[in-house]
Amino acid sequence: MLNIKKRIAEKIIERVKAINEAAQIDTAELMGMLEYPPDANMGDLAFPCFKLSRTLRMAPPKIAEAISDGFELDCVSNVSAVNGYLNIKIDNGYLGEVILPEILDKKESYGAPTYLGEGKTVVLDYSSPNVAKPFHIGHLGTTVIGHSLKKLHEFAGYKCIGINYLGDWGTQFGKLIVAYKLWGDKAQIEEGGIDKLVELYVRINNTIKGDEEQGIEARPDLADQARAEFHKMEIGDEENIALWKWFVEISLAEYEKTYKQLGIEFDSYKGESFYTDKMPAQVERLREMGLMKIDDGASIVDLEEYGMPPCLILKRDGSTLYPTRDIAAAVYRKNEYKFDKAIYVTSNQQILHFKQWFKVVELMGYDWYDQLVHIPYGTVSLNGAKLATRTGNVVLLKDLFALAIEKVKGIMAEKNPDLANNEEVAEAVGVGAIVFYYLTNNRIKDINFNLEDALSFDGNTGPYVQYTYARTCSVLEKVTENYGGKVVITSDEEAALLKTLCQYEERVLTAIRDYEPSTITRFILDVAVAFNKFYHECSILNAENNDVRGTRILLTEATRYVLGSAFSLICMKKTERI
């Protein structure tokens, strides 16, 4: 569609210059003015001529009439002037002769704007769970949004480095060590994994603050012990370092199970601990540049003139904070990967944090400060309740996935009991249902996660679009003869499907520009709706003649390629059978 828009824009400019030779209009700017009408009967594209009123000193209806007069292009079948709009109908023959062969030739690489990222590197920091804490639905956002953005950038030609910046350092490990020494059992933890670590973590937090109703006496002294145990870690105590490494190992083994279900792999697992020896150099640079001030014993960078509170660099006791580690990590990554863009995907609760340390990086004289991009997303609650590991108020992602998978198995047992690889299909559809539900929402919106809605298999859902993909595979499986021949577009449904498919590159570019995976989920839904309407209204394998049958088979094949490609951009697996 972008190429069609470009040609239409160039033709409009040609017609405008015929009206006023001195008119100066940029092709890209005019392409951006083209709109998709709300009603297909009005055309496939529309140009609001009032945007040229100042340039041409004419009323919009007159401009529309003047441009439409003599407007001829092989990709356009009709142009009409209506109430100051230029309504444009794309030629069906062009769709069949040019667009369809292009999709079939490029297959799943169709729509890939590789020119955008050629020769460029993007670092993406996402998922990044806190070690010894499980994945819950609150982690779903950073994980699937982050990986979708990685896949989108890869599709656009960027070299992408996916970084899982593990929360593997901090006083929480002091708490866990104290809890393990008080109540832990190695054999039980080896068997129970991260769930047992969470039990210990919840128990020590409850014990520190106490709970009269449960008869738990408050032990604030354990908080002091925890700080002491973490300090021992910081100075390299062998016993505590060994325990810490064990906790990390147990946690990663659990996380990998979830990543495997989502089809996610990372290029780096360097967590917070990796940067402990890289922070002093950045602190010293801040001192040398006179950027750091002492405020009530803490070291800060004053950001008042930029409309922000101070950025804390060191606590009173000299220990570092999150901004210190993030600055050190950014410098390391720039030196290591030579990135053109560094993307951080975190909750919108951290917007101020990122604004602060991004500004500090700028003040430190790093000329790549404007390559740092924070992508916030809304918070997740469960039926209105916020999630917190320390209280045990969580819905684990593995439990959510398991519930969805079991529901899919039940449906498959009724509708297709003899399906091969039913376990694999159930996992793909069940996990896909959760991911699609999440990514259908605009990323910045807060989500009140409703399990019943997420697992619904009706309406605009993951199972619906995966079933559509399986339907294309089923049709193509039944094709036994060569289906070459003349391409003929004979129905509105065929044309509508092709017009939807050819918007793919445009949607990808929009998703990358806005850092918005939901743009792709909406496109997938558009394709699924267009294909299913075509499927129900147009006989494919029993079409009236060879040319029509061949064309419809090719349309089905093109849909399979585009849907499969789009699935890969949102962490959703393809399902050839359901």
Tokens of 323: 């901004």
CATH topology of domain 416-568: Isoleucyl-tRNA Synthetase; Domain 1 (1.10.730)
Classify residue 290 as exposed, middle or buried by CB count within 10 Å of its CB (0-12, 13-18, 19+). Answer: exposed
Q: How far is CA 479 from CA 107, 236, 471, in A?
A: 18, 66, 13
For CA atoms 7, 10, 15, 16, give the dihedral sign.
positive
In whole angstroms, give the CA distance from residue 267 to residue 161: 6
In whole angstroms, give the CA distance from residue 334 to residue 387: 34
Nearest CA to 140 out of 258, 299, 273 is that of: 258
Between 493 and 235, residue with greater pLDDT:
493
CATH code given to domain 137-284+317-391? 3.40.50.620
Angle (deg, nearest 10), helices 194-209 and 221-234: 130
- The answer, yes or no, to whether residue 283 has pLDDT greater than 90, is yes
Extract long-range pairs of 404-407: CB within 8 Å, 24+ residues apart. 404/430, 404/431, 404/433, 404/434, 404/454, 404/455, 405/430, 405/431, 406/430, 407/455, 407/457
User: Is there a contact between 515 and 373 (Cβ–Cβ < 8 Å)?
Assistant: yes
User: Is there a contact between 181 and 475 (Cβ–Cβ < 8 Å)?
Assistant: no
Q: How confident is the model at residue 391 (pLDDT cuts 50, 70, 90)?
A: very low
User: Looking at residues 409-414, what average pLDDT do you find?
Assistant: 83
DSSP helix, strand, coil percent of the chain (3-state; round to 5): 60, 10, 30
In whole angstroms, give the CA distance from residue 498 to residue 91: 11
- Tally of CA atoms within 13 A in the half-sphere of 215 that contains its CB: 0
pLDDT at 281: 95
pLDDT at 516: 97
> Which amino acid is located at 418 in the chain?
D
In whole angstroms, give the CA distance from residue 526 to residue 534: 12
For residue range 300-358, list pLDDT tens digits in order. Answer: 999 999 999 999 998 887 777 889 999 999 999 999 999 999 999 999 999 999 999 99
CATH superfamily of 2-90: Arginyl tRNA synthetase N-terminal domain (3.30.1360.70)
In whole angstroms, give the CA distance from residue 498 to residue 531: 9
Single pTM value for the model: 0.89
The residue extents of the domains of the chain are 2-90, 137-284+317-391, 416-568
In whole angstroms, give the CA distance from residue 222 to residue 179: 9
User: Looking at residues 106-120, what average pLDDT do you find?
Assistant: 96
Coil vs helix vs strand at 234: helix
Lowest mean pLDDT among 140-149, 278-287, 450-459, 475-484: 450-459
pLDDT at 384: 57
- The answer, yes or no, to whether residue 229 has pLDDT greater than 70, is yes
In whole angstroms, give the CA distance from residue 175 to residue 222: 8
User: Looking at residues 268-295, what average pLDDT do you find?
Assistant: 93
In whole angstroms, give the CA distance from residue 266 to residue 150: 10
Which residues is 447 bridged to in the sheet? 380
In whole angstroms, give the CA distance from residue 68 to residue 51: 16
Select, from the ranges 79-83, 167-171, 429-433, 529-533, the one with the highest average predicted confidence (pLDDT): 529-533
Nearest CA to 527 out of 554, 489, 565 is that of: 565
Lowest mean pLDDT among 43-47, 48-52, 291-295: 48-52
Tokens of 532: 């299913």
pLDDT at 422: 84
In whole angstroms, give the CA distance from residue 291 to residue 304: 13
Tokens of 303: 């950001």
User: Is there a contact between 493 and 534 (Cβ–Cβ < 8 Å)?
Assistant: yes
Q: How far is CA 230 from CA 168, 178, 313, 318, in A?
A: 12, 10, 19, 15
User: Looking at residues 215-233, what average pLDDT do you find?
Assistant: 87
User: Is there a contact between 387 and 198 (Cβ–Cβ < 8 Å)?
Assistant: no
- The answer, yes or no, to whether residue 390 has pLDDT greater than 50, is no
Coil vs helix vs strand at 155: helix
User: Is there a contact between 442 and 375 (Cβ–Cβ < 8 Å)?
Assistant: no
Domain 416-568 in the same topology as domain 2-90: no
Tokens of 215: 């008869």
